[in-house]
A = this chain, B = another copy of it.
């Protein structure tokens, strides 16, 4: 079962958004066009447009209007990825060369700026003040999340609360906005808008926590990069936080390992084993499961239409996927 099988009936509309994305990036400079096309062709799950479209199914669904929201959401997401790669100094994303690796940091910055600009242009087409608010909040929070991620890099004195705030801003807010914006654009009632936004928030949290777990458990083949990459880059996630909390001596060992410079593969693997043995991954899975349950519950307030079933299935897929 693949993710896209869960929303087969949206295929035509996703394709329409895909065409809009392609149109929007043509006509920039040659380098920029190549860079954005590479990003588009790298695929990605288009999960934000999917959540947006499914949320709109609860109201007056008009793809001619919704497609602009899809473009905006996907471009904001892509822009943040390109800029993230600069910040994390990443040469690979999902096994493919990043824009900053293929060209340089400056082209990556430009590409991100360009995509933000395109996203903002698409949002400007909407009359709904609430849509502007949701989009601006997403962009604002994502930047703050990005900043916090830098701030807390290699910062061993952080806790679960700062982690949750960070992933909320970095990931969950844009997914919540995707649901909220789809609902608003389709004139869904206020209580149902809130239920959908809340669903998006819970799923978004689960999405990021799952991603962070996979960095420990998935193979290089599935991940497109070696396991433990987050820790190596100083991104401290739930399993590490748990292991440090449980064992002060492990925390000391971890700090020492990084104080000595970037750990060797061997030393890193030793640390990863200890994190695994601490139960940190189980702990993260439990928290993940709690968010998923809350996501399912949010759906109870919505009418039982096929889109509700799809949201349920996607949430379940996302929270339990293995790559």
Count of interface residues, chain A, beta-carbon cutoff 8 Å: 38
Whether B124 contacts A137 by the Cβ 8 Å rule is yes
CA distance A140 to B72 in the complex (A): 13
A102 at the A/B interface (Cβ < 8 Å)?
A: no
**Distance to closest chain B CB from A101 (angstroms):** 15
Whether A110 contacts B147 by the Cβ 8 Å rule is yes
**Copies held by the complex:** 2
Closest to A152 in B: B29
Whether B116 contacts A136 by the Cβ 8 Å rule is no
Residues of B within 8 A of A127 (CB): 129
CA distance A113 to B119 in the complex (A): 14
Q: Which of B114, B143, B144 contacts A116 (CB 8 A)?
A: B143
A222 at the A/B interface (Cβ < 8 Å)?
A: no
Residues of B within 8 A of A19 (CB): none
Residues of A within 8 A of B (CB): 28-30, 32, 83, 86-87, 105-106, 109-110, 112-114, 116-118, 120-121, 123-124, 127, 129, 132-133, 135-137, 139-140, 142-144, 146-148, 150-151
CA distance A319 to B150 in the complex (A): 43
Q: Which of B86, B123, B144 contacts A109 (CB 8 A)?
A: B86
- Known contacts A123-B136, A127-B129, A147-B28, A87 near B110 by CB under 8 Å: yes
CA distance A116 to B112 in the complex (A): 12
The 4 A-B pairs of least Cβ separation, nearest first, read: A124-B136, A117-B143, A117-B140, A120-B136
Whether B140 contacts A120 by the Cβ 8 Å rule is yes
**Distance to closest chain B CB from A165 (angstroms):** 13
**Distance to closest chain B CB from A115 (angstroms):** 9
**11 A-B contacts (beta carbon < 8 Å):** A32-B147, A86-B106, A105-B109, A109-B109, A109-B112, A117-B139, A121-B136, A121-B137, A124-B132, A124-B133, A124-B136
**Distance to closest chain B CB from A247 (angstroms):** 29
Residues of B within 8 A of A110 (CB): 87, 143, 146-147, 150
9 extra interchain contacts, Cβ-Cβ under 8 A, other than A109-B109, A117-B144? A29-B147, A30-B151, A86-B105, A114-B144, A114-B147, A120-B120, A121-B136, A124-B133, A124-B137
Residues of B within 8 A of A147 (CB): 28-29, 32, 110, 114
Most buried by B among A116, A118, A120: A120
